[in-house]
Chain A
């Protein structure tokens, strides 16, 4: 066990260093690829916060990504610098999470999942409806700006921040309480845990990062439209990454993000629908064979601590 920890942290430090200087010698394409990987890590970790820890499956999580995208695009269009606009995107995503979570988290787990299923559609409709603000189906363009490198660092920072947040939560009593919701909500309530309040906290926390990276992604792409920022496949990918890597763990989403992202870059570009069929198949396979994901399996086999 100590063999692991002895080279894990230094290894992590070296990796961070390498990634920090990566833009200096990489191509523009390389930077954008890595930037997207950071984005997916942030998204997967966030989904893990609500669905992995509390067991409340959020099928509509891309809504927060889209909310951040639109908020940022609109603000940048009004002249606000993109870093502030992205943070505002995160804030708006949290507001949206509160508006949705307040009624929906009172519902028991499966009903909450159903409610979240419809959320995607509602938001897409809303984006088309409020045309004046969002440009409707035509979408929004942002003033051209080549900020790839700066966005690379911003995304990387968010990915690190969310991972650190997950670590802090999992090792605290707050995190334990979130997990009791997943384990046995009735018993948790009977033991004095106000499950509704904790679910709301987790949900709000899980919306912040997608909002911010949604904003950063909007800045990076330079153009957004309803279909590009509220695609179901984003939620699906988040889910697969976390399930595959190990839900409820700290590094599982990171592992899942790295593996699935690589897979995505290789397959999706060429075979988008075959790719999604495979995603569906992976979900089925993981649920049947490896419900705790790779890290979960390793955790059980080698009796690793929860902070893996």
Chain B
């Protein structure tokens, strides 16, 4: 049993929050789709993966600063998301949940293997920033800190959008009640497309930020899909601020667990956490809508 010093604890807690911000941003996307359309988007991870590949491609061909590539990856994947919603997902919004699950599952398989064809499964990386910020006894990976800052910023913008703008309020209205929103003159289908596009853009942003830190390969998204589900469950389905807290919580738990468990078993932590939470509080820790 290793002794845990306060420094180690502090390091782990901050690392957890840094990672959590990223989880929160990506999960917000998933939560948007679920809140607005009641669809569980299994293809969320692959959309993140596509964002990462856009960044990689721009970096390796024209040397574009990965953080600048946010300006490309987010809009591109936004449009892809809108297209997916308009042509495919729209047809299963009112169908039993099984249908939308299977549909997005099919889309995710197609996207992942398309990436395999286009990029092969060779691991790619974007070597842009290495090293850590040293603050007193703590060392934080630079890429992590910057990713957290961007994630926090993008998430804040997303929330401002949801709270202050007319479209954002319309999204929240449709999340509450589609019928009432329609009666108020809101074009629900447009809101669905917007929400799906926005969610995809958030996923892509996650992919871009993560591209600098981890190996890029076609299957990288799956774990983010799963963790985003976990965050939504932790924070409460349909509860957008809850997704923030859920993301931070997940980041914390994972980092804390890494103190005690080997890296391999760490991957199972998220899974076990999900099952436990679902059993104890199906409506999430902060309460929200159950399906």
Contact = CB atoms under 8 A, between A and B. Distances in A.
Chain A in direct contact with chain B (Cβ < 8 angstroms): yes
B40 A113 contact: yes
B106 A276 contact: no
Interface string A110-146: 1101110111011001101100000000000000000
B102 interface: yes
A154 interface: no
B264 A276 contact: no
Nearest to B88: A284
B225 to A, nearest CB: 7
Given A129-B264, A287-B99, A288-B91, A236 B109 contact: yes
Contacts of B91: 288
Given A57-B102, A109-B97, A115-B275, A121 B117 contact: no
B199 interface: no
B32 interface: no
Given A110-B291, A121-B267, A284 B106 contact: yes
Contact of B40 (A114, A276, A277, A287): A114
Interface residues of B, number: 45
B265 A129 contact: yes
A283 B262 CA distance: 37
Interface stretch (A67-75, A86-94, A99-107, A201-209): A99-107
Given A121-B223, A280-B113, A239 B282 contact: no
B47 interface: no
B191 interface: no
Dominant secondary structure of chain A at its interface with chain B: helix
A108 B282 contact: yes
A280 B115 CA distance: 13
A155 to B, nearest CB: 26
Dominant secondary structure of chain B at its interface with chain A: helix
Interface in A271-308: 273-274, 276-277, 279-284, 287-288, 291
A82 interface: no
B264 A283 contact: no
Contacts of B222: 117, 121
Contacts of B116: 273, 276
Interface string B17-51: 00000000000000000000000101000000000
B93 interface: no
Contacts of A121: 222-223, 226, 267, 271
Contact of A280 (B97, B109, B291): B109
Nearest to B39: A110
B174 interface: no
A246 interface: no
A64 B105 CA distance: 20
B110 A284 contact: yes
Contact of B270 (A118, A119, A273): A118
Contact of B278 (A55, A111, A129, A281): A111
Interface string B81-111: 0000000100110011111011101111111
A99 to B, nearest CB: 11
A274 B109 contact: no
B117 A273 contact: yes
B290 interface: yes
A115 B270 CA distance: 11
A109 B40 CA distance: 11
A230 interface: no
Nearest to A275: B113
B226 A118 contact: yes
A245 B146 CA distance: 50
Nearest to B45: A117
Contacts of A284: 88, 103, 106-107, 110
A287 to B, nearest CB: 5
Contacts of A103: 275, 279
A185 B291 CA distance: 13
A111 B233 contact: yes
A107 B280 CA distance: 10
A281 B107 CA distance: 7
A106 B279 contact: yes
A128 B275 contact: no
Contact of A122 (B110, B225, B268, B279): B268
B114 interface: yes
Contact of A125 (B42, B108, B112, B265): B265
Given A125-B267, A128-B264, A281 B110 contact: yes
Given A57-B98, A280-B110, A288 B117 contact: no
Contacts of B270: 118
Contact of B103 (A122, A125, A128, A283): A283
A251 interface: no
A111 B291 contact: yes
3 shortest A-B CB distances, which residue pairs? A283-B106, A280-B110, A280-B109
Given A113-B40, A239-B102, 11 more contacts: A109-B97, A111-B291, A114-B40, A115-B271, A117-B42, A121-B223, A121-B271, A125-B267, A284-B110, A287-B92, A287-B106
20 contacts: A57-B101, A59-B105, A111-B278, A115-B274, A118-B270, A128-B264, A129-B265, A236-B109, A243-B102, A276-B110, A276-B112, A276-B113, A277-B117, A279-B106, A283-B103, A283-B105, A283-B106, A283-B109, A284-B110, A291-B99
Interface of B: 40, 42, 88, 91-92, 95-99, 101-103, 105-114, 116-117, 222-223, 225-226, 229, 233, 262, 264-265, 267-268, 270-271, 274-275, 278-279, 282, 290-291
